[in-house]
Amino acid sequence: MENEAFTQYVKKYQASVFRTAYSYVKNFSDAEDIVQDAFLRLYKSDEIFAADENVKMWLLRITVNLSKNFLRSAWKQKCVPLKQDFSFPDKSEFELLEQINSLKPEYRIIIYLFCYEGYSVREISAITGLTEVNIRARLKRGREKLKKILNE
C-alpha cells in the first residue's frame, strides 16, 4: 500500500477503529494497541479495495477479531485491571458511549456499530460474523437494556 493512501485511511478511520476496539476491551491503552495492530495489518495487506467503505469495513472486522483475540489471550486472563482515571478530550461525546459500554459485550458492539458507525444489520453481520436474525435480536434487547439504564 502506498504511504499517501495509508495516511489518508489512518486519518479517516482511526476514530472509528479506536471506538470499536475500546467498546470491546474497555481500556484506553489496550484499545490503542489494537488500533495500531489493525492499521499495521492494513499497511502490510495486499488486499485491493473497490471503495473506501470497503476499507473501513475491513478495518473494523480486523479490529473486532483483534479485540476478541486480546480478550481471550492468556495474558489478559491473568491480568488484574488497574483503576484508570482518565478523561477523553470531549467528555460529552463519550457519555452515551460509556452507558453503552456498561452493557454486556454481545449487545455493546452491535449497538455501537449500528448507532455510532451507521452500519446496517447486514453490514454488522459481515463485520461480526453473526447472523442477521441474531443481530436484530441483540439490537432490540440491547436497546431495551440501554433505555432501562438511561431511565434510571
CATH class of 88-152: mainly alpha
Q: Could you tell me the residue ranges of all domains in the chain?
A: 1-86, 88-152
User: pLDDT band at 80, cuts 50/70/90?
Assistant: low
| pLDDT beyond 60 at 31 | yes
Give how far Cα 66 sits from Cα of 51, 70, 86, Å: 23, 6, 24
Per-residue pLDDT tens for 12-30? 999 999 999 999 988 888 9
CA 99 to chain centre: 15
Mean pLDDT of 132-147: 92
Question: How many other CB atoms sit within 10 Å of the CB of residue 118?
Answer: 9
- Taking the chain, what is the end-to-end CA distance rounded to the nearest angstrom? 49
Please tell me whether the overall predicted TM-score, pTM, comes out greater than 0.85 for this model.
Answer: no
Domains 1-86 and 88-152 share a fold: no
Closest Cα to residue 135, out of 124, 147, 146, 119? 124
Sorting pLDDT into bands at 50, 70 and 90, what band is 152? confident
Q: According to CATH, what is the number of the domain 1-86?
A: 1.10.1740
